[in-house]
Amino acid sequence: MIEMREAWRTWVTPRPLRSRPIHRWFAFPHSFTGDLVDALIAEWRLTEHDHILDPFAGAGTTILAAKLRSIPATGYDLSPLATFVSKVKTRNYNHRRVESCARELLHRLSGTTFDVVDREYPDLVREALPNGILATFEGIDRAIASSPGSPRERDFFRLALIAIIPKYSRAVAAGGWLKWVHNCTKKTSICNAFAKQVDLMVGDLSTCPNTRANHWSASCADARSLPDEAPTYGAVITSPPYPNRHDYTRVFGVELMFAFLDWEKTRRLRYQSIHSHPESRPRRPEHDDYQPPRGLRSTLTKTRRAGLEPKIVSMLEGYFLDMHLCLRECQRVASPGAPIAFVVGNAQYAGCPLPVDTYLARIGQALGLKWEKTIAVRLRGNSAQQMGRFGRHPSRESIVVFRKA
Ligand SMILES: C[S@@+](CC[C@H](N)C(=O)[O-])C[C@H]1O[C@@H](n2cnc3c(N)ncnc32)[C@H](O)[C@@H]1O
């Protein structure tokens, strides 16, 4: 069954997150919103006795929305940036202590200038943050590291610092790639921007439920082979990367290599990510049980004949194999009867529509999951390049809902 729910259309875009406390600390380009998670929690009547899984946690939207409703949640993501953001957003804090650490840190930084870069960085970071900007970011990072707070308080301030990188970077995200711009923002304003971000985050803490429970976590794992052994999750709410060539290790390359990984590790992360971009070449678990969904082969043949590059065709083949492996894992770790929702976006290549939601439903059914419905929420225009060549044919963004038998 395909159901149209236009009222949910803005909930599959990250825009509304910019005005939502805590969610706004950091968003991913394809984050959905807490409203979507809330609506599914209400529809499935989940309670604090359930446990929600998000195997593509991104900026932690599912885990945070679950926490705000006191429902335990676990997130996984391949990217250390994603798990860091998710953890910082969903931890418990002592509001007063964070406030006093913030005052002390900002006092130490006021009037200080930083001119020397001590650490080694990949070229991308040096080129994106030139002329003393990198020295200032590193100086603030050092001040955070030596500040008197606890490790989790230091992480809180580190997220504030990472969140302002795009304001100063010459490499800005454009679609799934980085575009070089002439950014003339002065390094002298970085401490002010950091102070503003810290103020916003400290202010948001008052909206966080005061709980001692520790039922919300995020850690690094591949959604194709999750670390859980037993079927424990009462629901899955997630959104895998879309097959649109978008590469999170590129768009967040500066943040990743400033704070988490060197160049080689970033490259390995790129290779291992879901086959949603042509540079991915992941190591996968055994998959003898996979058959491409009905219709996929003929669609790919059409795209090939229409001139689609072979590397994009094999990306699309790999994408659906990856979806099979992720659904297989969700099925394994979900408890019987658990609902599983995947937010996905259809695409278009060489003028041929690629109905990702339909193929996903078929893959789930082949695994023995019950396909309940596909909720179509939004129509997105195709890429400028596709529109120019083949006309405007919007693709739908939808939520494919399964139930574990
Ligand atoms: C569409 S985003 C998720 C956004 C998230 N729903 C939110 O609201 O912020 C997809 C995420 O999948 C992650 N990812 C890519 N390949 C992965 C893999 N093999 N295993 C786990 N996560 C992966 C990316 O790092 C990215 O954070």
Q: Give the pLDDT score at 210.
A: 74
Q: Give the pLDDT score at 387.
A: 65
Q: Give the pLDDT score at 183.
A: 72
Distance between Cα 241 and ligand 1 center (Å): 6
Q: Give the pLDDT score at 382.
A: 65
| Residue closest to 296 by CA, chosen among 354, 377, 237 | 354
| Residue closest to 239 by CA, chosen among 355, 343, 357, 380 | 343
Of all protein residues, whose CA lies closest to atom 22 belonging to ligand 1?
77
Distance between Cα 255 and ligand 1 center (Å): 16
Q: What span, in angstroms and rounded, lies between the C-alpha atoms of 103 and 144?
A: 12
| Mean of pLDDT values over 287-293 | 96
Query: For residue 389, is pLDDT > 80?
Result: no
Distance between Cα 253 and ligand 1 center (Å): 15
Distance between Cα 227 and ligand 1 center (Å): 16
Residue 321 in tokens? 């194999």
> Where is average pLDDT lowest: 166-170, 272-276, 391-395?
391-395
Ligand 1 mutation pick, 54, 250, 273, 281, max ligand atoms within 8 A of CB = 273
Query: For residue 383, is pLDDT > 70?
Result: no
Answer for the pair 331, 404: CB distance below 8 angstroms, yes or no.
yes
pLDDT tens readout for residues 175-211? 777 889 887 777 678 999 999 999 999 999 999 877 8
Q: Give the domains, in start order, of the chain with CATH numbers.
A: 2-79+217-403 (3.40.50.150), 95-207 (no CATH)
pLDDT bucket at 213, cuts 50 / 70 / 90: confident
Query: For residue 357, is pLDDT > 80?
Result: yes
Answer for the pair 176, 273: CB distance below 8 angstroms, yes or no.
no
Element (H, E) at 34: helix 34-43
Q: Please indicate whether residue 85, judged by its CB atom, sits closer than 6 Å to ligand 1.
A: no
Q: What span, in angstroms and rounded, lies between the C-alpha atoms of 347 and 308?
A: 14
| Mean of pLDDT values over 151-159 | 97
Distance between Cα 79 and ligand 1 center (Å): 8
| Mean of pLDDT values over 201-222 | 91
Percent of the chain at pLDDT > 90 equals 87
Q: Give the pLDDT score at 308.
A: 96
Query: For residue 391, is pLDDT > 70?
Result: no
What are the C-alpha distances in Å from 166 to residues 128, 204, 252? 10, 21, 9
Q: Give the pLDDT score at 177.
A: 77
pLDDT bucket at 388, cuts 50 / 70 / 90: low
Q: Give the pLDDT score at 240.
A: 98
Q: Please indicate whether residue 53, judged by its CB atom, sits closer than 6 Å to ligand 1.
A: no
pLDDT tens readout for residues 123-149? 999 999 997 999 999 999 999 999 989
Q: What span, in angstroms and rounded, lies between the C-alpha atoms of 118 and 132?
A: 12
Q: Please indicate whether residue 239, judged by its CB atom, sits closer than 6 Å to ligand 1.
A: yes
Rounded to two decimals, the pTM is 0.96
Q: Please indicate whether residue 248, judged by its CB atom, sits closer than 6 Å to ligand 1.
A: yes
Answer for the pair 73, 51: CB distance below 8 angstroms, yes or no.
yes
Of all protein residues, whose CA lies closest to atom 16 belonging to ligand 1?
273
Q: Give the pLDDT score at 126.
A: 96
Q: Which atom of ligand 1 is nearest to the CA of 61?
A: 8
Q: What span, in angstroms and rounded, lies between the C-alpha atoms of 151 and 132?
A: 27
Mean pLDDT of the chain, nearest integer: 94
Q: Give the pLDDT score at 386.
A: 62
Element (H, E) at 167: helix 165-168
Q: Give the pLDDT score at 138.
A: 97
